[in-house]
């Protein structure tokens, strides 16, 4: 069965990052609110989702921009506290505005990036390794608050072995913590929240009743085995793993000509995929 199929002309050529973004864009629910990190793929996913499928989905950014109609494209880096992303918002606030509204339960979804994710959906964006080998990265930024307070969390990350681990080197943003029932509540986090989906350029995961990450769908250009080979710790696997639909030409047109015109998000570490006969094939050597 094909998952997240939409109307349009199936693209015969796209890159994996574009596949990941269109996949999340199709998950955007109309009439719902999204707290998105300012940079990278999450903002493109919500913008594409709004333009194609969910015109009344709204989003807020960490600097308190509420429901903007941004002027596209953004300048490099300038995704917050800048005029284009803030354009035609319904309200301008500050970081505490965003934080408070999320604490109040007003944010349906959060969309995040992360360096590493573990079997309980905990997210690391702080450091990799330990002791002498430890390397400090940027820190959670807003992700800790997004992961704690939005009702459902969508994590966008890469499908790489070292990124899917049993236990992240550092929990920057809370998933289900140690996976025990109510572990989040015992840590003071709001009831009924937590990781919901993980989407990579190759696959989609949800979380089972025991809060373990579970592979539920793959891209048409990879196999389950290939995905699992890129997980240091093997996730649960759904009985039926579905196949995700490929991007449409209409989506790519928006993404390439309006959103990520400089290839900032879609150009990063991303292989190319082409239709060969009736099969989508990854171009190796990327």
Partner 1 sequence: MRILAEGTAPYLPVDPDGFREYVREHKSRALEPKLLSAQEAVARFVADGDYLVYDCNYLQRGPSILIREIIRQRKRDLWLCGKFTYVDVGLLIGAECATKVDCGFFYQGKAIDRAIDEGRLEIYEYSNVVMTLRLQAGAMGLPFLPVRSLGGTDGFSQSGAKLIEDPYTGQPITIVPALNPDVALIHVHQADQYGNARVFGTGIAHEESALASKKVIITAEEIIDTEEIRSDPGRTSIPYYAVDAVVHAPFGAYPGTCQGYYGSDTAHVIECFGAVSRDGVAQYAEKWISPFATDQEMLDKLVGEEKLSQLRANETITEGYRP
For residue 75, which phi and psi values (nearest 5 degrees)?
-75, 155
State in angstroms the smallest separation of the CB of 20 from partner 1: 22
Three-class secondary structure of residue 92 per DSSP: strand
State in angstroms the smallest separation of the CB of 159 from partner 1: 23
Residues 93 to 112: which contact partner 1 by CB under 8 A? 93-96, 98-106, 108
C-alpha separations of 270 from 92, 156, 160 in Å: 35, 14, 12
The answer, yes or no, to whether the previous bond of 143 is cis (omega within 30 of 0) is no
State in angstroms the smallest separation of the CB of 135 from partner 1: 7
Helix (H) or strand (E) holding 60: strand 58-61
Three-class secondary structure of residue 125 per DSSP: coil
State in angstroms the smallest separation of the CB of 171 from partner 1: 5
Beta bridge partners of 203: 218
Residues 110 to 149: which contact partner 1 by CB under 8 A? 126, 135-145, 147-149
Residues 176 to 205: which contact partner 1 by CB under 8 A? 177, 183-192
State in angstroms the smallest separation of the CB of 38 from partner 1: 9
Size of the residue set binding partner 1 (CB under 8 A): 77
Pick from 164, 170, 205, 207 the residue near partner 1 by CB under 8 A: 170
Residues 237 to 276: which contact partner 1 by CB under 8 A? none
Pick from 171, 203, 252, 265 the residue near partner 1 by CB under 8 A: 171
Give the span between the Cα atoms of 157 and 20, in whole angstroms.
9
Pick from 3, 81, 237, 275 the residue near partner 1 by CB under 8 A: 81
Give the span between the Cα atoms of 255 and 233, in whole angstroms.
33
State in angstroms the smallest separation of the CB of 78 from partner 1: 6
Tell me: does residue 75 bind partner 1 (CB under 8 A): yes
Tell me: does residue 41 bind partner 1 (CB under 8 A): no
Query: What is the four-CA torsion angle of 43, 108, 174, 259, rounded to 10 degrees?
Result: 0
Three-class secondary structure of residue 269 per DSSP: coil
Give the span between the Cα atoms of 199 and 218, in whole angstroms.
10
Nearer to partner 1 among residue 189 and residue 237 (C-beta):
189
């Amino acid at each position: 069965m094909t998952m997240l199929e939409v109307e349009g002309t199936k693209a015969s050529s796209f890159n994996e990052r574009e596949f990941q973004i269109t996949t999340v864009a199709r998950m955007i629910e109309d009439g719902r609110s999204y707290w998105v990190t300012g940079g990278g793929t999450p903002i493109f996913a919500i913008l594409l989702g709004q333009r194609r499928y969910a015109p009344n989905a709204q989003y807020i950014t960490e600097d308190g921009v509420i429901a903007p109609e941004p002027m596209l494209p953004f300048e490099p880096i300038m995704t917050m506290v800048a005029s284009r992303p803030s354009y035609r918002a319904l309200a301008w606030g500050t970081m505490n505005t965003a934080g408070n509204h999320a604490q109040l339960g007003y944010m349906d979804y959060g969309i995040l990036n992360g360096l590493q994710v573990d079997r309980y959906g905990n997210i690391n964006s702080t450091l990799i390794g330990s002791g002498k080998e430890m390397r400090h990265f940027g820190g959670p930024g807003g992700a800790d608050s997004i992961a704690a307070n939005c009702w459902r969390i969508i994590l966008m990350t890469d499908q790489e072995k070292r990124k899917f681990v049993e236990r992240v080197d550092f929990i920057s943003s809370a998933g289900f913590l140690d996976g025990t029932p109510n572990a989040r509540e015992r840590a003071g986090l709001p009831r009924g929240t937590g990781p919901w989906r993980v989407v990579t350029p190759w696959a989609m995961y949800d979380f089972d009743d025991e809060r373990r990450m579970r592979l539920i769908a793959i891209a048409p250009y990879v196999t389950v085995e290939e995905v699992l080979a890129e997980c240091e710790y093997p996730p649960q696997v759904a009985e039926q793993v579905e196949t995700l639909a490929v991007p449409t030409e209409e989506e790519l047109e928006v993404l390439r000509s309006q959103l990520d015109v400089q290839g900032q998000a879609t150009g990063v570490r991303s292989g190319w995929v082409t239709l060969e006969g009736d099969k989508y094939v990854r171009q190796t050597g990327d």
